[in-house]
Amino acid sequence: MQERVQKVLAARGLGSRREIEGWIERGEVQINQHTAGLGDRVGPDDVIRVRGRVVTRPEYPHRWIAYHKPVGEICSRSDPEGRRPVFASLPKLKGQRWVAVGRLDLNTSGLLLFTTDGELANALMHPAGAMEREYAVRVLGEVPEETRRMLLEGVELEDGPARFDALEAGGGDGANQWYHVIVSEGRNRLVRRLWDAVGVTVSRLIRVRYGPVVLGRGLKSGAARDLEVGEVAALYREAGLNVPENLQPPEKRRGTRPKKKKGGAARGRDKGEGWSSSRPGAGAKTAKSAKSGKPGARRGRGARSGRGRPGR
Write out the catalytic residue numbers.
105
Size of the chain, expressed as the number of residues it contains? 312
Q: Which of 277, 195, 266 is nearest to 231 (CA)?
A: 277
CA angle, corner 182, sides to 224 and 185, nearest 5? 85
β-strand pairing of 202-210 with 109-115 = parallel
> Contact at 8 Å (CB) between 279 and 303?
no
129: left (phi over 0), alpha (psi -120 to 50) or beta: alpha
